[in-house]
Each structure stands twice: as structure tokens, then as C-alpha cells.
Amino acid sequence: MLTDYMEEAVCGVDDLKDGELKDVRVGDTDVLLARVDGQYYALHPKCTHYQAPLSKGLLNGNRLVCPWHNACFDVRSGHRLEAPALNGLPTHEVRIEGDQVMVRLTTDKESLENPMSTPDPANNTTCVIVGSGGAGAFAAEAMREGGFTGNILMLTSSSQAPYDRPNCSKDYLQGKAPDEWMPLRTPDFYADYGIEIRTGQQVTRLDPQKKEIELSAGEGQPTERITYDKALICSGGKPNKLPVPGADLNGVHVLRSLHDSQQLRDLGQQGKRIVIVGSSFIGLEAAMSLRKLGSEVDVVGMEAIPFEKILGGRVGKVIQGWHEKEGVRFHLGRKVGTIEGTDTVEAVVLDNGDRLPTDAILLGLGVKPNVDFIAGIDREEDGSLRTDKQLQIADGLYVAGDVATYPTADGSQRIEHWKVAGQQGYTAGMNIAGQEMTYQEVPFFWSNQQGKRINYVGHAEKIDDVIYDGNPEQDDNFLAFYVQGGEVKAVAGLKRDTDIIAIRELMQYGQLPAVDKIRKGVDWKAELVTK
């Protein structure tokens, strides 16, 4: 049990330079020490997302960035600044005594919620969130953080309150993450902050002119109508279907939900043969997880090399090799011709006649925006909704996540990443609360491929050239810079966490070095400091 007076000298006043981090101990408690503009700060040392050691991250001014998934915190207050972390970091008191830095423990908590308002019964304003993914979860909290005290209603077709969806293809699918790890918040949290979540709700129509939402109440039941003052659409994506004979047989699965992951985990634990159609990030994460459970796994992909369009051929081949080493079989440059079976799938027949016997199929063919219920709003060619810089599409109506096409300096973008969805939800929620924020974050995503985490920042529509720092085929760490139109637009990295953080911070402020300088080699942390 901590006392109010547990205090120790942890270093000399000149031991750290501005921008440096150091793990220290006060008694039996680990503490992270940071120095910014000559001032020392002491915080909880692990990220509140997945407990990454923050001393392995990077400090840019007051921004402390996690090395694993790029969550971001303010070292001055401990407040969470960016997804995927929901909570902030507890802080401890720091004082200078002579030439020593003294830290006094003031809390034994491992995380703290950002300051949020509670609902005011006298405020009858209603905001409705359609969707319960990362965007919806962060939006609801941002509304309270931004000072909104009205009613918040979240409508979701899922049977679950917001949960950690990225884990559905990783540790949860492997049986390493228990059910209790998956919810983002407890029911008590949502009750305390007046966030009403209605699961199992099918929104059939949203009318931006009337500011009205219709819900299906089931056959023979009257339609329920809800009026809103402001609303957020973050309804996510619908899995693309496989347009071949037999695709409607039992045993054809997708991986978009906790329930989907549970079903696939059961199959994997039984050692079933599984064919994955689509060599996407989710598809190959699932291949990794199902293989670890003991399944025989075949992957069918139209591409000659997995991820070639996103990561380039060399990196794609390396990742394919990681999977093949673990027994995953690839059938690339191939399409599915037909699926055989009576009631349940029995085999996948490829366009070259090869027959793959199977007990189940997992489709990893991407998604399309789930927006069919929205009336009176034009769609983009891909079915998404075009927003302004505040993520608004109509009076009082906002969009975030997979369904949003938003403006950037390089043109419009639509990004299907968890961190992006969370940050967009946060921005939209703050705007609903009246804070007038602009969304202008550089995209970031991560993928776990056979236990190796690839981090990726930026966005490249096509790859004109790739610059490598390190050898992907031989080194256990590298950076790959993707050049489009004479500029580096995206970067992927393996075990180069602080470099990726520095690169994203430089991208964020339009200060990335020119291609010629990057070809010669850059000390990325030093480059960030000089900016």
C-alpha cells in the first residue's frame, strides 16, 4: 500500500536532456521519468492500451508516443491524446532538492480516465451514434470530454458493447486473450457517464433533413423512430461476398465480430481444415492464429505476392515466408472457381482446377461501407460518404471510420484502420460537443504477422519506388519508404519503433526530408529534434 510520503531521489538534475525518458524506481514502484523544456515529469511507465514500455517510445515536446501502437499521451498531465489508448497515465509529484530530482508517489493506479462531464438531467439535447466500433467508442467519450451534457444513445446491430476488435484476429482468436479482456469499458463506466448502448438494433433509415432515425422492430411490429439533434454515422463495413457457386453453403465465414472470432476459434481448436480466400492483413493474421491452434490452413489470393500493392514485393515475399515456415500453404495468382458441398462446404476448386478439401472457408476479401440506410446523401464511387475537415456531411450529422472519405493535403482518403477510426471518432465527438476540431492525422496501422509486428505510417495510392533502410530478407529490422510522385508517402517498419514514431511526427507537420536525403540515410530521432 502506497503512502502519501513515499519519496526518493531518482536522478541528478542534469542526468537527462530535454526529450529523454528514463525508467526509475521509487520504493517498489516503477516510474517513467521524462524531461521537457527543463522540467521533469513522472508518470506510470506502461501504455494503458497493451502495457507497452513507454521508455521504449519517443518524446516529441510534451507528446509521449507508445512504441507499439502509437497511442499518445501528454507528459504534463498524463492525459490520453490519441487512440488506441482510452485511458491516460497517472502522474506523480516531482520536485528538485539541491541537485537531485525527487519523485513522490501520489497514486497506485495504473490508468486514469481523461476528465469528462456527466449528463445533466435538464439538458434534453440528444446525440445518436450509429455503430459501436472504435469510432463510436471514442466519439461517445469525446462528447463528454468536450463538455456535452445531453443524452448520448449508441445504436448497434452487434450483440456486444464496444470491444477490442483488432484482437479478434490475433490473441483472442488464438485463445490467449480471455473474454474479459475484450470489452473496452465496463457497463458501470457507460452508466456513470450516461452513455446508453442499445445492442441488436437494426437501423433501416436515417433522414438528415428530418433528423430522424428509423429502427426495424421485427416482422409485424411498428417501426420505431428516434429524433436527434446531432448524430454520428460510424457503421463500419460490410464484408465483400464471393460471387461463385457454393458461396451460400454452411461453413463459409467472415471475421468482422467477436462472435465470428469465437466460431473460428472453435473450428481451429478442433483442428479443422480451413481455406482462407483473400491474402489480406486480416486474412493472414487469421491464418497465423488458426495455424497456431492446430488447423491446416490454405490461403488463396489473386495477387502474385501478398501485400505487394501496399508493402512492395520484397516485404510481401518476406512475410509470405514467415507464414510458410509455420506451415501455411499459399495458392497465389489464383481465383476461386466454385465451392463444392451438399449442405456444408467440402472443397474449394480454383480457376486452374486445383481442388482444396476443406471443413470451412474464411473470406478475407475486404469490406464496403455500410451506408445503405442513409437517405439524401450522395455517395463516393466506393459507397463512402465525403466529409469536410470537421468530419461533417450535413447539419448536425458527422461521419467517422470505414465509411468516411475525408480531405487531406494529398486529396481525399478513406482509411480502414482502428487507430484512424478511433481518432476520427474522437474528433467528431469533440465537434459535436462544440470544440471545432479539424481532423488531419497521419494514418497509422499495425499488423501482427507470425509474431512480428509491422508498423505502417502514411498512405500511398501506388508505389513508384521503394527505399530500404536494412535488408528485409536478411535483417530482423528494417524500414521501407514508399515513394509516389517523387515524395515519400508511406513507411513500413519492423522493429524500428522509435524511427516510425519520429517519421509519423515529421509527416504530421509536413517536415519529412526529401527523397534524396532519405536515400543517404537519416538519424530519425535527431531529425525530429532539429525540427
Task: Show me where the domains of the chain are located.
Answer: 7-104, 126-238+369-432, 252-365, 460-530
Mean pLDDT of all residues in 159-164? 96
Whole-number mean pLDDT of the chain?
96
In 3D, which of 516, 512, 510, 514 has the Cα closest to residue 527?
A: 512
d(C-alpha 170, C-alpha 181), whole Å: 13
CATH 2.60.40.10 is held by the domain 7-104: no
Go through 243-268 and write b for each residue having 16 or more CB atoms within 10 A of its CB, e for each that does not. Answer: eeebbebebbbbbbbbebbeebbebb
- CATH number of this structure's domain 460-530: 3.30.390
- CATH number of this structure's domain 126-238+369-432: 3.50.50.60
The answer on pLDDT for 234 being more than 70 is yes
Asked, colleague to colleague, whether 7-104 and 252-365 share their fold, the answer is no
Percent of the chain at pLDDT > 70 equals 98
CATH superfamily of 252-365: FAD/NAD(P)-binding domain (3.50.50.60)
pLDDT at residue 220, as a whole number: 64
pLDDT at residue 529, as a whole number: 86
Mean pLDDT of all residues in 156-171? 96
d(C-alpha 102, C-alpha 9), whole Å: 4
- Give the contacts of 302 (CB within 8 A, at least 6 positions apart): 332, 333, 334, 335
The answer on pLDDT for 168 being more than 80 is yes
d(C-alpha 265, C-alpha 46), whole Å: 30
Q: Are 419 and 445 in contact (CB under 8 A)?
A: yes
Mean pLDDT of all residues in 206-232? 90
d(C-alpha 183, C-alpha 166), whole Å: 12
Residues 325-352: pLDDT tens digits?
A: 999 999 999 999 999 999 999 999 999 9
Confidence at 211, pLDDT banded by 50, 70, 90: very high
pLDDT at residue 4, as a whole number: 55
pLDDT at residue 1, as a whole number: 46
Strand partners, 215: 203, 224
The answer on pLDDT for 3 being more than 60 is no
The residue count of the chain comes to: 531
